[in-house]
Structure 1
Amino acid sequence: QARNAEKAMTALARFRQAQLEEGKVKERRPFLASECNELPKAEKWRRQIIGEISKKVAQIQNAGLGEFRIRDLNDEINKLLREKGHWEYRIKELGGPDYAVSEECVVLHGCSAFS
């Protein structure tokens, strides 16, 4: 069995090396938004978070979920919303759009942020 494990590790190592050489290693979102210094990347991370929120909202609307799973999903959504706020603040610091103002406008006045 040790030999099979060694083979698997070398195959995994070769695959990882090939990925690194191709430059297709998936970049992870920084833990702190303040660590990001590029506006396009900050926008990318914000979009990624919005996508994650959308998926979790869709899951939470599933009637078959138990109460505890719904509570867990709700906690995860709230955490992502908080993180989205951090990224929006960082985007504004980097000279990008102020998403907080445009969202407030939509909620309070029904105006379109994109018109």
Structure 2
Amino acid sequence: MNKFILICILCFFSCSVQKNSTDPFDKTLQEELGENFSRIPQGEYVLCRSDGKLSQHKTFLVYKKSSEEIIYGPIKLNGDINWASSTELLIKEYPEVIENKQGSSTYTYYYNLLTGKKYEKNNDRF
């Protein structure tokens, strides 16, 4: 019985040490995105999004791996962001629902991380 209690205590302390051993940049990401977020790496950049299920609005940001610098966002929107290429994001913003009436159609555009410019989906991106 004493061995069982000792094992439980050791497991408890080892779990707490692992939980507190996150690096400082992970703490920055948690401050911006909350406890639950996902990372989608693409080359030298990483797209992060909050995973909260209570809100339609999600928080997004992109950081550069080498410098751990946030280069886009954090931005909160009712929509979705995915990679279009190694340096471009495909951003879809969904209309708000007001009193059971649907707004206009989805607004879709590209955002270039290198130039900081956004482009309409059907226009020339370069």
Q: Please confirm whether the aligned pair reaches a TM-score higher than 0.5, indicating the same fold.
A: no
Whichever structure has more strand as a proportion of its residues is 2
Q: Report the TM-score when normalising by structure 1.
A: 0.33
Tell me the TM-score normalised to structure 2 length.
Answer: 0.31
Q: Which has the higher helix share?
A: 1
